[in-house]
A and B are shown apart, each in its own frame.
Chain A
């Protein structure tokens, strides 16, 4: 177990290193950060002076080594726009994003299991066909379109939900402010969560459905049926348990992916999280923030994958985590 974790930590460091290098390599192509910092009439001479101050005129290697040196001491640079350490900016935005991902996860877990099981057990009913049809639509429509349509239907037309932002949040601890403790906060998080869930939910319904159908064909289910066990017990106790194994693995990885999907959802809903912040940073060529974001997201991926592996070991006794470290 310990060996496994150590191995993972080294992998994480390697991943972070590669990401930082890639992030640094692309920044030259993102454009000129100076344009967002100065007004139109500022002379070329003053611009050059500022570039020197920012160290933008140094060679790629000099800039990277300077960055890497600072990064080793926990300093990922200072955002041009926020004028604060990039890591602080991201950590302040992180809770909003994680809450959004949590909201979407609740929706996905809450809906995909019953719907997936139902469509597997009764594949020929109209309702099943409807669910499967809608899930195709859900997968096919881009998130930002779903989000905009939801705003126009539920905020503008019906006026049920607010159209943007986080609403009233309650301070919990450190940078963490939560939506889940006020009615207004709940109202604000519902639409963005559904928008974010709109891609993953159909995927999970389909995954659970196909896994369940496969399990239902297996010998032990047939035997249980023949034995005359209550169908409910067969479906939800015996079959579902085995269905969920692959779902957990895929699910864990997808939660990481969802952090990346938040870029679109947050932008449309003006959700003050780090996905929206990243897109803005790209527009402003706020390179320290861009590189820091990539590293943090890379870190989140590594962590979620590790946790998924650990959980998988707990759920499925045939997997031996201890040996994976070898």
Chain B
């Protein structure tokens, strides 16, 4: 048996060597999921954006230290309060062979405005005006500080390719959420890779685009095979056994194993997704009292959670904005003081405590259910008795929408990569008309905080904006609007012969076009 296995292994090894000999650099990547669709505007999710960065190029993109880097836009300038003029790079070719012009950007912008998932981000924008073939104006209704932030979401699509009707009479440009569409199966961008084969849920094969405009990149990968591997231990095993070259995410339990393994590097980075608990003031009278909320914040040992439960794989937080965001105030530090918490409870008249219900998902965030259990037991220290229920995310979100418990967990990553977004969705006064506070299950409401957010949304001076947003974070902190826990870290595992450290970023869209294999 052993002999048989060995000889088979030998045959397989020879086969691998033979295929390596024709000098094509292939990188096998394993993620926990593959993109739901080839349509870059169907769903606003990490998977879609990862795909977009491989097959398309944005006008500008984020660098590792959260600065902007020109991609398809060669240059840009503010020509008046509400207009930003962009100049496109010359000689950019789509996979179909068409050349990129300002018309494509205009067409893409209109499609973004029509997409259920993206139109929210583009709400402040009114139009793209084509000036000439290579120049266009991006217009907003009001002065808007996040024009470049939003431009990272504009991946120009090949308008000629996506225009017209299919053989069965469907419009090629239509965005269909839950059905077949031309754009969900066909793709033409300007990006470094062309999708040459795709079996949903099994694998996607990307081949380097011969006519890629960015000839200065050192990236030398000819082929990427993306395989989703759902199960954490299998994904790690696939990397360790050499079946794949790059994996994401690395589960916290295997960080050490991947870090210690020979020939494999562990790359970690502070992420931008904050994990929080919200306290529902409509359901529990006591939670209306800022002192009680502060007491809860003082009772929760978030450094302990990061240390013990997350095994150091998180950045302890005391505010929503991670470092690098305008609103991040380094002076805001985590609170943990049980005596102080007890004193605050007594001051508020709740020395004997009270009972609340708590809900958290158990498969959405890293260690979400364990974190919730820890928080529940920490609250028992100040006599708050917690009835905790955890459930799969599919069942959790409807419960969250119903505001079904007194304390609910939510993690948030700002799609705009900007501080105001956290407040808009998580802690602004709930308002159905504006959509503010859509995820504010605590029903926290502070007019001053909302005014600061609104002011910051039309303030184009970064210094003033930073001041407003930091003031906003301080209000939320002083009133304990919510319980911040930590920002989840990101972790990738990579073979040591690749420059993976250079292509990853806090947004978790590794720029595979720049990947170099030695």
Cβ < 8 Å to B, chain A residues 34-73: 35-44, 46, 50, 53-54
Cβ < 8 Å to B, chain A residues 134-164: 148, 151-152, 155-156, 159-164
B237 at the interface (CB under 8 A from A): yes
- The digit string for B112-125, where 1 denotes a CB below 8 A from any CB of A, is 00001100110000
Interface residues of A (CB under 8 A from B): 29-33, 35-44, 46, 50, 53-54, 78, 80-84, 148, 151-152, 155-156, 159-165, 183-184, 186-187, 267-270, 272, 276-277, 280, 282-285
Name the A residues within 8 Å of B229 (CB-CB).
Answer: 164, 270
B243 at the interface (CB under 8 A from A): yes
B120 and A43 contact, CB distance less than 8 A:
yes
Name the A residues within 8 Å of B432 (CB-CB).
Answer: 44
Name the B residues within 8 Å of A37 (CB-CB).
Answer: 43, 177-178
B44 and A36 contact, CB distance less than 8 A:
no
B395 and A29 contact, CB distance less than 8 A:
yes
- The digit string for B154-182, where 1 denotes a CB below 8 A from any CB of A, is 00000000000000000000001111110
In the assembled complex, how far is the CB of residue B9 from the closest CB belonging to chain A, in whole angstroms?
Answer: 5
In the assembled complex, how far is the CB of residue A127 from the closest CB belonging to chain B, in whole angstroms?
Answer: 17
Name the B residues within 8 Å of A84 (CB-CB).
Answer: 180
Given contacts A151-B233, A268-B231, A270-B227, contact A38 B241 (CB under 8 A): no
Name the A residues within 8 Å of B99 (CB-CB).
Answer: none
Name the B residues within 8 Å of A270 (CB-CB).
Answer: 227-231, 234
In the assembled complex, how far is the CB of residue B518 from the closest CB belonging to chain A, in whole angstroms?
Answer: 22
A159 and B242 contact, CB distance less than 8 A:
yes
CA distance A186 to B12 in the complex (A): 11
Name the B residues within 8 Å of A162 (CB-CB).
Answer: 241, 243
Name the A residues within 8 Å of B233 (CB-CB).
Answer: 148, 151-152, 268
Name the B residues within 8 Å of A39 (CB-CB).
Answer: 43-45, 117, 415
B178 and A155 contact, CB distance less than 8 A:
no
B238 at the interface (CB under 8 A from A): yes
CA distance A64 to B8 in the complex (A): 52
Rank and list the top 3 A-B pairs by shortest CB-CB distance, nearest first.
Answer: A31-B394, A39-B44, A39-B117
CA distance A90 to B122 in the complex (A): 38
A30 and B395 contact, CB distance less than 8 A:
yes
- Partner pick for B230 among A38, A46, A163, A280, CB 8 A cutoff: A280
Which residue of chain B is the closest to A46 with respect to CB atoms?
B116
Given contacts A31-B394, A81-B36, A270-B230, contact A41 B415 (CB under 8 A): yes
How many residues of B are in contact with the other chain, CB < 8 A?
A: 57
- The digit string for B355-399, where 1 denotes a CB below 8 A from any CB of A, is 000000001000000000000000000000000000011111110
Name the B residues within 8 Å of A53 (CB-CB).
Answer: 178
CA distance A80 to B177 in the complex (A): 8
- The digit string for B403-447, where 1 denotes a CB below 8 A from any CB of A, is 000000000100100000000010000001001001100000000
- Partner pick for B243 among A29, A30, A164, A282, CB 8 A cutoff: A164
Given contacts A37-B43, A270-B228, A270-B234, contact A50 B116 (CB under 8 A): yes
CA distance A44 to B116 in the complex (A): 11
Which residue of chain A is the closest to B410 with respect to CB atoms?
A40
Given contacts A39-B44, A184-B15, contact A165 B227 (CB under 8 A): yes
B256 at the interface (CB under 8 A from A): no
Name the A residues within 8 Å of B237 (CB-CB).
Answer: 148, 151-152, 155-156, 163-164
In the assembled complex, how far is the CB of residue B197 from the closest CB belonging to chain A, in whole angstroms?
Answer: 13
- Partner pick for A164 among B11, B234, B242, CB 8 A cutoff: B234
In the assembled complex, how far is the CB of residue B184 from the closest CB belonging to chain A, in whole angstroms?
Answer: 6
- The digit string for B239-255, where 1 denotes a CB below 8 A from any CB of A, is 01111000000000000
A186 and B8 contact, CB distance less than 8 A:
yes
Name the B residues within 8 Å of A267 (CB-CB).
Answer: 230-231
Name the B residues within 8 Å of A80 (CB-CB).
Answer: 178
In the assembled complex, how far is the CB of residue B42 from the closest CB belonging to chain A, in whole angstroms?
Answer: 9
In the assembled complex, how far is the CB of residue B190 from the closest CB belonging to chain A, in whole angstroms?
Answer: 24
Can you list 27 A-B pairs with a CB-CB distance of less than 8 A? Answer: A31-B396, A32-B401, A35-B397, A39-B45, A39-B117, A40-B412, A41-B117, A41-B120, A41-B121, A42-B117, A44-B401, A44-B432, A46-B116, A80-B178, A81-B201, A82-B201, A83-B180, A83-B184, A162-B241, A163-B241, A164-B30, A164-B234, A270-B231, A272-B201, A277-B201, A283-B363, A285-B394
- Partner pick for B394 among A44, A78, A161, A284, CB 8 A cutoff: A284
In the assembled complex, how far is the CB of residue B225 from the closest CB belonging to chain A, in whole angstroms?
Answer: 10
B8 and A183 contact, CB distance less than 8 A:
yes
